[in-house]
Structure 1
Amino acid sequence: MKLSNKFLRMLTAALMVAGLSVLAGCGSDEDGSASVNKDAKTVTVATRGTVKPYSYTDDDGKLTGYDVEILKEVEKRDPSLHFEFKPMAVDAAFVAMDSSQVDMIANQMRHSPARDEKYIFPKEVNNYTVRKLVVPEDDNTTKSLDDLKGKKVAVTTNSEFADLVKKFNETADTPIEIIYTDKGPSETMNLVATGRAQAAGEYEYIVSVAKKEKNLPIKAVGPTLTKVPTFFLLRKDDDMQQVADKIDAALKAMREDGTLKKLSEQYLGADYTSEPAE
């Protein structure tokens, strides 16, 4: 019996959640549990842990990245909170949060009608993502989605770029062939670099990092496709609403004193904390 891709993704996510107990020992307490306020509320945070510069493991085996360091700074400013990180894919993170195995997702989350109804978004923006087409370095003809009709394009499941391509296909005379992955930008860019996809849609600074650190033969081209505000995402209940309010207070202070800008410049290469101009 042939299984659909959607079913396989759901099955994979469920199996990953089933393995959370194995990951329990991998929670991120690099700063030392002795420094944690014993009365602090522990908030379990699902994060990919594999996507630089947002959430990744550094050369010393320490979980870091823009999203992770924001929450570490929030904890420093508000000792009533303690964040414990659990690495997992996005699909698994949603399954885990729906089953109350994690409290929160730190993974460049964006608003959508379904998410707004089901989860809590803090009010403060983490950063804005600027996404462009990614093509092989020797491709000098692809500049827009129109140039990709009938060709393979790699997208990350649940991303705004996936939504953009699906919407394009609704009216296209020749639709784009979509390759879905939940492994994030590293996989979509690798698919392009190895010729298994003609293009992807990723953030400019991620492409720059990949070219510099992994020597991938790719480049970002064309106009800006999307510029989207990103947030943390929390389980919807009274306790998590209080946590969201505390995160908002800390993020607002970080924005006002320049800390958020400094983190963005350190990890993202520039200040993406304000909405970019057209």
Structure 2
Amino acid sequence: MSGASIIATFKLHPWCRRLALACLTMPAMVLAAPAVTAVPAPAPLTETLPASLACHDDIFVPYFMQNDGRIEGLNVDMLREAASRLGIAISFTAMPWRRLETELAKPGGSVDCAFAMSRTPQREQYLEFGKVPLQPTEYALFVRQGDGAKPFSHLDDMAGKVIGVRAGFRLPDEIADGVASGRWKIAEVQSDAANFQKLALRRIDAVLADSYVGLYTVRQLKLAGIARLAPPLSRFDTYIVFRKSAHSAALAAAFDRVFRRMRQDGTFARISSAYVGASALEP
């Protein structure tokens, strides 16, 4: 049926009929809605990561060590794995700690990447910290067990005893307060290995050390009957850091993502257990 036939079936004024017929016979292109041009979504921002990265640390067994000219260690292995996943060629350089801190704080210093640093407001002014730590640092007491003496279970048992520390070791507040009040004594030596050997020979009553340092040393020296007291006396996180630059935030964020995956897929535990033993990682 034509448009005119349809209109004719209704009782419309002639003027209305003419108007309706004109609408029905108008070209379709006039009635069609105008086309809308789609606006493309902005392309996602891509990170600009360096092809290579040189990182610095001081010698600190088992985290950073030199063996026949090759740098290795627990933190070194962690960072090598993380950098590999990011497609970054990473290299390592040993630098004394005081010089390292000076270079990082100095404008135009020679160091752009370092580890493992604790977060402080002062350092955050010139260093880029991520959100995921490279390693937690714990200070713990190590004692003998099963030698017939009264077992130690917490710090209060140290009253009147001698605690061995490596020279230059920063004492936790609880230990420093006990030394000041005369509750216990501190015996300093030049190495952690010497400390634990003295403990095994009963020349001191306990050793205060970084938790992983102690576990690694006991394992390397094959000392039996030495245990770490829990909980640790203090705990804080340490990070890989980058000198602030146009790309430092992207670098920190990229390592954060990889560190999270490495914890989830068991890589952190696997690398740590190679140095301190799987049983040492159990809570």
TM-score by length of 2: 0.61
* Local SS of the residue matching 1:243: helix
- Gap regions ≥5 residues in structure 1: 1-38
Separation in 2, partners of 1:191, 1:116: 40
Q: Which moved more, 1:209-218 or 1:255-264?
A: 209-218
Give the corresponding residue for 1:140.
Answer: 149
- Cα distance, 1:118 vs. partner? 6.0
- Cα distance, 1:250 vs. partner? 1.8
Separation in 1, partners of 2:125, 2:192: 27
- Cα distance, 1:123 vs. partner? 1.0
Separation in 1, partners of 2:122, 2:183: 26
CA-to-partner distance for each residue in 1:10-39, whole Å, 9 max, x for gaps?
xxxxxxxxxxxxxxxxxxxxxxxxxxxxx6
- Cα distance, 1:144 vs. partner? 3.7
* Local SS of the residue matching 2:91: strand
TM-score by length of 1: 0.61
Give the corresponding residue for 2:181.
Answer: 173
- Cα distance, 1:177 vs. partner? 4.0
- Alignment check: 8 A CA contact 2:219 2:276 kept: no
Separation in 2, partners of 1:114, 1:149: 38
Separation in 1, partners of 2:132, 2:224: 36
Separation in 2, partners of 1:95, 1:229: 22
CA-to-partner distance for each residue in 1:229-248, whole Å, 9 max, x for gaps?
53324255234333222211
> Is 1:106–2:115 an aligned residue pair?
yes
CA-to-partner distance for each residue in 1:29-76, whole Å, 9 max, x for gaps?
xxxxxxxxxx6243332242x502x22245x65322221011111221
Which structure is larger by alpha-carbon Rg, 1 or 2?
Answer: 2
Give the corresponding residue for 1:55.
Answer: 64
> Is 1:228–2:235 an aligned residue pair?
yes
Give the corresponding residue for 1:241.
Answer: 249
User: Which one of 81, 84, 94 corresponds to residue 73 of structure 1?
Assistant: 81
* Local SS of the residue matching 1:223: coil
Give the corresponding residue for 2:56.
Answer: 45
Give the corresponding residue for 2:45.
Answer: none
- Cα distance, 1:124 vs. partner? 1.1
- Alignment check: 8 A CA contact 2:56 2:115 kept: yes
Give the corresponding residue for 1:17.
Answer: none
- Gap regions ≥5 residues in structure 2: 1-49
Separation in 1, partners of 2:115, 2:191: 14
Give the corresponding residue for 1:23.
Answer: none
Give the 3 Å change call, closer, same or farther, for CA 178–257 of structure 1 in structure 2. same
> Cα RMSD between the aligned structures?
3.9
Give the corresponding residue for 2:220.
Answer: 213
Give the corresponding residue for 1:93.
Answer: 100
Separation in 1, partners of 2:85, 2:175: 41
Count residues in correspondence: 228
Separation in 2, partners of 1:105, 1:271: 30
Give the 3 Å change call, closer, same or farther, for CA 122–175 of structure 1 in structure 2. farther
Separation in 1, partners of 2:79, 2:161: 42
* Local SS of the residue matching 1:225: coil
- Cα distance, 1:110 vs. partner? 3.8
> Is 1:260–2:273 an aligned residue pair?
no
Give the 3 Å change call, closer, same or farther, for CA 258–118 of structure 1 in structure 2. same
CA-to-partner distance for each residue in 1:132-170, whole Å, 9 max, x for gaps?
3124575834544332457454156465x534422555x
* Local SS of the residue matching 1:84: strand
Give the corresponding residue for 1:24.
Answer: none
Amino acid corresponding to residue 122 of structure 1 in structure 2: G
Separation in 2, partners of 1:40, 1:196: 52
Separation in 2, partners of 1:231, 1:262: 19
